[in-house]
Amino acid sequence: MNLVKELIAGASRDELIWLSGYIAGAVAQEGATPVATNGVAAAANGAASAAANSTAPSAASANGASVSKITIAYGTETGNAKKLATDFAAQAKKKGIQAKLVGLEQYRLNDLSKEEYFFTVISTQGDGEPPAGAKKFYDHIHQGELKLDRLKYSVLALGDTAYPLFCKAGEDVDQQLQKAGGQRIVDLRKCDTNYEDEAGSWFDEILRRLDNSAPTGNGSGHSASTANSASAVLGNGATKTGGKKIYTGTVLTNIVLNDRGSSKQTHHVEIEAEGVSYQPGDSISIVPTNPVTVVEAILALTGADPARVFLHRSEEAPLSHLLRHKLNIVYLPERVVRKYASIVRQDIPETRIGLLDLLKIYPVKDATQFHEVIGILEPIAPRSYSIASSPEAHNGEIHLTVVKDTFCVNGETKHGLCSDLLSQLEPGQTVGFYIHPNSRFRLPAPDKDIIMVGPGTGIAPFRSFLAQRDSTGATGKNWLFFGDQHFTTDFLYQTELQDWTKTGVLTHLNTAFSRDQAQKVYVQHKMQKHAERLYSWLEAGAYLYVCGAQEPMSFDVENSLLAIIRQEGNKSVAQAESYLGELIEAGRYVKDVY
Amino acid sequence: MSDSKNLSATEGIKQRSNALRGTLAESLLDETTNAIREDDQALVKFHGMYQQDDRDRRDERAAKKLERLYSFMIRLRIPGGFFTPEQWIATHHVAGEYTTGVIKITTRQTLQLHGILKSRIKPTLKAFNKVHLDSIAACGDVNRNVICTAHPMQSDIHEQVHAYAAQISEFLKPKTHAYYEIWLDEEKLTDKKEEEDPLYQDRYLPRKFKVAIVIPPNNDVDVFANDLGLIAIIEHNMLKGFNVAIGGGLGATHGNAETYPRLATVIGYVPADERLFKVIYEVVTIQRDYGNRSDRKLARLKYTLDKYGVDWYKQELAKRTGFELEEAKPFTFTDREDYYGWHQNHKGLWYYTPFVENGRVLDDEQVALKSALLEIAQTGKANFRFTCNQNLIVADIKKKDKAAIEAILHRYRVIGHTEAASAIRKNSIACVALPTCPLALAEAQRYLPVLLGKIEPLLERHGLEEENIIIRMTGCPNGCGRPYAAEIGLVGTAPGRYNLHLAGDHEGMRLNRIYKENLDEAAILKELDLLFWLYQKERITGERFGDFAWRQRWFKQ
């Protein structure tokens, strides 16, 4: 009672009204009549109500739920958020709530200020970024001018605890909507990669808030069954960590696909993966380890005790283990460099740099400082690679196509940590990985035609597609556009593609080798060359996939695609864009670009 | 008439090919492979090309899921081996841009370029076309490059005799327009009658056909190794006519006794007028009509000749030409060599023959021959004449220009290199063999120079280093390097192993025979060491090594 008195004493009038409504609503949950709820809610003038609230008569709800219309928006990269949002919309419909399902890339930003119930499912990419399609929406809610007083919202954030900025995009959306005046009716829920349970319970809670009836069995049942299937096949060496099943596979083969004289080094790696289930189009994520030489150099330089135990993300581990397996020390992002700078109290230019170099150029003054530095380091981010094998054709194995990443930092040639690691794997060594499902990048029905644009390592998922379709006897036609630098040295999987052409699995194979002639020829040029056929395939219902470098390839390819649609379909610029939009909507134009 | 049943597969390919077009155009457009379709591989030979691949790289590329490293060899049509400086400059640049860079002088007075990717064939042939060069009929079942005694000092009327090479080459060239359409992008023929070919019809010959013109007494062209040899009969500096020899051909298959090398048989004499061309024409048509089209291994004119008999062939020839050949006139061969170093012809023009090891024109640490020849060509002061020993003659140099040319030759060490080469090296021939020839069983071009380095000390030891002993090595028994007409022949049987052939004469009128089989390097050197010792000990003064071997019966009976 004292507590209550304290509360009341500190509350404003609005707050008291709200409180009374809240309590009434809480009581109503136990089965009180909606009439009482309505009455109290009506008094809660303009205040957010945790109780179901309806400003219009709702005929739709079976037990008189007061909310009839909500918007469920999703920001998705691989399709998971969209799938969840779609499920939620279906659940809402069953409960008599009309849910408008919309992708954030298509969401009309002006509508936001008119929204009343707005639920967002949004995933986080890479370094805390929203999905590419959701960027427009994301930027919109970050500009200061927004007034969303009517808005009642909640955010479900999907992410991966392996990454330092876990669910950051979701967090940002949650914060920004509040700053703009929106009212949070269910707290932000952050999900790791094994998200089904959490996501299900989040939406259950929303439904509870929206409607005074008990949550339907469907939500949790769905989650349970999903959880069951997700945990179904735990193969050899699988361990459950932080919600992800981490497998350990033995390397069977590691060859360089490029011939002598190539300026590239693309590896084809085959990993034993008995019992690992995946689908063509999925990726695997690998957490690379740091090079032993760098770790030893750091320990030598700082004189730190490698056996000293630290607490890192609720795990205790010796320093040497952390430096080798857990902490990102080779390419520190700017935000970490800034923290380092403030620890050692030095001016450090904002650039990506390794910890060893930092310690050399801006040394720590003692062990304590070094321990502080350990504290600001982030976990090693996993890298994803499209799976190049097919479950049907390459049973028990996972194949990867990995190009050794080479870039320049301060005039020095450096190699990508993970690709470097993979390139050096020898048969017999093991590698830890987990499956990163790519639910939007999937083969269609077996009788559908597919067009694949996959230059360089972008060919990986298409090798999976072709091998799968070959194995399952799919009747749909298959057309591949491949490109790289030189025909004689860089024609990845050439003999396999030739064999598929001979047996008819590969209906058309067009190639573009950019440096074999004076002018650069890329895959989009070959697409244009066959514009008529390409357009007729699309008209006949073909699915088009693009995989590989985002910049500039996927943009160039998309521009060419639009030009082809304009030209062959006799369409205006807007019509062509709309045509492409329809393809996207129907899931017939999908990208996996990086 | 020859068997019309059971024709070899190649016969069908030729007949279906629409005058040698096949699906070459489509093959060129296939962007998924650097190879051409199988049938087209047979047809492209008629256009002067072979599809090859680098055999050294096969396994590694297969492991990388890459197709074989395909490329094309282009052989030019250079009747009598005569080349202008413009043509040399163009070849130099084409070689640099589209090929391995090495210009290979063949054993039949023409040039080969290797390593040309499918997509570069057309630009290469177009570049050659600009300097009036083509590769038509340089390979395939047709008349090949017509060769002729190379050195103008051979005779005061060399020029007149040499002119026949180009004439015969044109005369026996296929009439198809396919080459111009496919490679040079010329207009397609609307009237097929324009390419009607009464000589080759639609089936061409059963096999390759080689014509050689020789001016005695130097048998530099190895005239008897050809299907049709024309021996120039010159009296009082006037060309009277030619002795006609038919049925030469050196190819054989290990272990197939039905195949054998054969030297041409002299069947008569024809005066140097239009009758000559009638004889040439009908020799070809008889082979066309009677040659074996079922078994390509028995398809050369020599087998036709032996099957039906020399008399029969002469009669058939008389029937078709309308006259009998006269009795062959006497002639002698005393040599079979290139004239290294500086020489003049009867007009006072100068000629320099450098030593080009195995015909490979390139720049290396020892001699920068390719650069030298480019610079010489750029002066415009010399022509180039290729020999049948894989050499060339820097030719037709006016007296006033000799010093300038000589300076260039000295500067690039060409003269030094030529003078330093041993006698046996200067008399050696090796075929290409590995890595590009699909038929090679053992190395030739890449190995003979090394082996010679070990043979030279043996010769020196026995005081024989000045002897012009003709030694030839091939990677297989097909005989592209004319090993059966050598004094010492080495014919590859397996990697590192060769059959040793001896007792061929020096002039090219007696084939050698197998002496010992499957020898490795140590065995070869051991044998030669002993043979050289016996030779210097027991020879008659001036007796050639090949004749001595023949006398000693150094061959399997």
pLDDT digits (tens, 9 = 90+) for B71-113: 999 999 999 999 999 999 999 999 999 999 999 999 999 999 9
A308 versus B290: which is more confidently predicted? B290
Which of B32, B61, B62 is nearest residue A498 as measured by Cβ atoms? B32
Residues of B in contact with A496 (CB under 8 A): 65
Q: Is the pLDDT of residue B526 over 50?
A: yes
pTM: 0.81
Contact A286, A299 (CB under 8 A): no
Which phi-psi region, left, alpha or beta, contains residue B426 (left: φ > 0; alpha: ψ -120 to 50)? alpha
Distance CA A273, CA A275 (A): 6
- SS3 of B507, please? coil
> B436 vs B170, which has greater pLDDT?
B170
Tokens 């029905």 found at: A445
Predicted local distance difference test score (pLDDT) of residue A38: 40
B103: distance to nearest CA of chain A, Å?
22
End-to-end CA distance of chain A: 58
**Confidence at residue A433, expressed as pLDDT on a 0 to 100 scale:** 92
Q: What is the pLDDT of residues B436-453, one digit of tens each?
A: 898 999 999 999 999 999
Flag if B64 and A257 touch (Cβ within 8 Å): yes
Which pair of structure tokens corresponds to residue B242?
């030619």
Q: Whole-number mean pLDDT of chain B? A: 96
| pLDDT confidence of residue A220 | 37
Please tell me the predicted confidence (pLDDT) of residue A33: 42
**Closest partner CB to A488 (pick from B31, B62, B69):** B69
* B60: closest chain A residue by CA: A259
Of the listed ranges A209-218, B201-210, B341-350, B483-492, the least confidently predicted one is A209-218
Report pLDDT for A390. Answer: 96
- Concatenating the DSSP letter of every residue in B261-324 gives -BPPEEEEEEESSHHHHHHHHHHHHHHHHHS-SS-GGG-SHHHHHHHH-HHHHHHHHHHHHSSP
Q: Is there a contact between B33 and A498 if contact means CB atoms under 8 Å apart?
A: yes
DSSP per-residue string spanning A33-76: -HHHHHHHHHHSTT---SS---SS--SS-TT--S--EEEEEEE-
| Neighbour count for residue A45 (Cβ, 10 Å) | 11
| C-alpha to C-alpha distance for A4 and A19, rounded to whole angstroms | 11
Closest-CA distance, A519 to chain B, in angstroms, reads 14
- What digits encode the pLDDT tens for the residues A334-390? 889 999 999 999 898 877 788 999 999 999 988 888 999 998 998 888 889 999 999
Contact B32 A494 (CB under 8 A): yes
pLDDT for A488: 97
Q: What is the band of B276 on the pLDDT scale with cuts at 50, 70, 90?
A: very high
More confident residue, B555 or A4: B555
Residues of chain A with pLDDT under 70: 21, 25, 28-66, 212-243, 409-410
- Could you say which of B139, B300, B437, B513 is catalytic? B437
Confidence of residue B4 (pLDDT cuts 50, 70, 90): low
Q: What is the 3-state secondary structure (H, E, C) of B380-439?
A: CCCEEEECCCCCEEEEEECHHHHHHHHHHHHHCCHHHHHHHCCHHHHCEEECCCCCCCCC
- Which residue in chain A is spatially nearest to B64 when comparing CA positions? A257
Please give the order of strands across the beta sheet that includes B265-271. Answer: B147-148, B211-214, B228-235, B238-246, B265-271
B476 has catalytic annotation: yes
Catalytic (active site) residue B148: no
* Cα end-to-end span (Å), chain B: 36
Q: Could you tell me which residue, A113 or B233, shows the higher pLDDT?
A: B233
A292 to chain B, closest Cα gap in Å: 30
Q: What is the pLDDT of residue A54?
A: 38
| pLDDT over 70 at B314, yes or no | yes
